[in-house]
């Protein structure tokens, strides 16, 4: 009797689960097998789905700054290279920004951040390919590079970074990027043949050492010990890669309007004005001059490289100053993104 009741219970439970499954499929709450054009079921494959991203209710300037720093520490999990199994990979287009760099601006009357831009494999952050990368870059005389690119150094080498110079962190970031792309597109998808030529690879960079060096770092880990004779870097004079199609009067008009809009918002932010005024007092310059020096650029370098903020006889710039300016920068970016989305739909 016990076994009979248990059997009936399991049978009822199975029927309930089957009913729920069919109901969910009918309501499209769970995926069903894809159907081919000929009406046959195609092979169902597992998909790695990313966790849904939800926007945090409040801006956390410290978290966002750490996210911006992007210090290489752990292996990244990525959705790179995933697609429907019936698609064929033909080419890959990678548009990257340069890696971590030294500031382009200095806070007036303060000491510059003491950052070493020489590459040292035994200094963190590092990468297993860093030493080989340095060695390979010294053999690059046979590469073809447009215009002034030939005169640029292929990796950073100053013991005290120059303004805007790529740091070791920046090199390591792109060594990791290239390695990730290699694992996916070379090892998994066989994108390039073993006997690849310069026809298989198109390289273009702006004429800054930090962008060329970032590209070379990514390229080296993507194609370790590549043949320099196959490399042809083209010089792109426009930072937005618009080549000969950069003129857009309406775009310039709305950019100017947006800049005026952002300025009017900033001057109304009392805490931001107080922060700039206090920092200007510390360094001993007018508030307007401090604003013009774009202090967040230098402060981010201090923050990302764990260097102390500058001090003077009048006091020290501190993390609270940084948090206020970074918070308002993020708010400006968020507001700007909304404005340009509206412009996109109004003026296609």
Average pLDDT on 242-258 reads: 78
Which range scores top for mean pLDDT: 70-74, 184-188, 201-205, 314-318?
314-318
- The top-scoring range by mean pLDDT among 61-70, 84-93, 263-272, 337-346 is 61-70
Question: What is the C-alpha separation between 184 and 75, in angstroms, rounded?
Answer: 14
CA-to-CA dists, residue 13 to 10, 121, 331, angstroms: 5, 61, 53
Q: Are strands 315-316 and 311-312 parallel, antiparallel or unpaired?
A: antiparallel
The residues with which 144 forms a beta bridge, in sequence order, are 232
Q: Under 8 Å CB-to-CB from 201, ≥6 apart: which residues? A: 192, 230, 231
Q: What integer best gives the mean pLDDT of the chain?
A: 82
Phi first, then psi, for residue 315 (nearest 5°) are 135, -165
For residue 96, the model assigns a pLDDT of 86
Q: What are phi and psi of 44, to 5 degrees?
A: -85, 130
Task: Collect all residues with Cβ–Cβ distance below 8 Å to 171 and sequence separation of at least 6.
Answer: 99, 119, 127, 130, 133, 155, 156, 213, 214, 217
- For residue 176, how far is the Cα from the chain centroid? 12
- In the chain, % of residues over pLDDT 90: 53
Residue 341 has pLDDT above 50, yes or no: no
* pLDDT tens-place string over residues 78-129: 778 888 888 888 888 888 899 999 999 999 999 999 999 999 999 999 999 9
- Work out the number of other CB atoms within 10 angstroms of the CB of residue 290: 23
Instruction: Please report the pLDDT score of residue 102 as a whole number.
Output: 97
Is this structure's pTM higher than 0.95? Answer: no
- Band (pLDDT 50/70/90 cuts) for residue 77 is low
Give yes or no for residue 284 having a pLDDT over 70. Answer: yes
Per-residue DSSP letter, 149 = G
Instruction: Read off the tokens for 203.
Output: 């390289």
């Amino acid at each position: 009797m016990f076994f009979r009741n248990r059997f009936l219970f399991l049978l009822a439970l199975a029927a309930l689960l089957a009913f729920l499954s069919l109901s969910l499929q009918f309501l499209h709450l769970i995926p069903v097998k894809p159907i081919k054009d000929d009406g046959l079921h195609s092979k169902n494959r597992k998909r790695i789905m990313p966790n849904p991203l939800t926007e945090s209710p409040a801006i956390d300037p410290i978290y966002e700054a750490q996210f911006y720093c992007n210090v290489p520490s752990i292996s990244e999990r990525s959705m790179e290279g995933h697609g429907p199994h019936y698609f064929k990979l033909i080419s890959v287009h990678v548009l990257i920004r340069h890696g971590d760099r030294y500031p382009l601006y200095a806070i007036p009357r303060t000491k510059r951040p003491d950052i070493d831009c020489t590459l040292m494999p035994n200094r963190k952050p590092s990468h297993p390919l860093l030493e080989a990368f340095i060695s390979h870059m010294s053999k690059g005389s046979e590469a073809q590079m447009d215009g002034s690119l030939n005169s640029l150094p292929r990796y950073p080498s100053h013991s005290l970074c120059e303004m805007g110079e790529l740091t070791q962190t920046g090199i390591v970031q792109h060594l990791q990027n290239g390695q990730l792309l290699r694992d996916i597109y070379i090892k998994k998808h066989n994108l390039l043949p073993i006997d690849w030529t310069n026809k298989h690879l198109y390289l273009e960079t702006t004429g800054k050492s930090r962008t060329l060096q970032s590209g070379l770092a990514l390229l080296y880990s993507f194609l370790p010990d590549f043949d320099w004779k196959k490399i042809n870097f083209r010089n792109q004079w426009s930072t937005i890669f618009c080549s000969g199609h950069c003129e857009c009067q309406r775009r310039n008009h709305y950019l100017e309007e947006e800049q005026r809009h952002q300025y009017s918002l900033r001057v109304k932010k009392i805490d931001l004005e107080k922060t700039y005024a206090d920092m200007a007092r510390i360094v001993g310059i007018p508030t307007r001059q401090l604003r013009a020096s774009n202090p967040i650029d230098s402060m981010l370098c201090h923050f990302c490289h764990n260097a102390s903020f500058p001090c003077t006889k009048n006091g020290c710039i501190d993390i609270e100053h940084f948090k206020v300016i970074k918070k308002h920068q993020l708010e400006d970016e968020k507001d700007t993104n909304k404005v340009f989305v509206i412009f996109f739909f109004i003026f296609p």
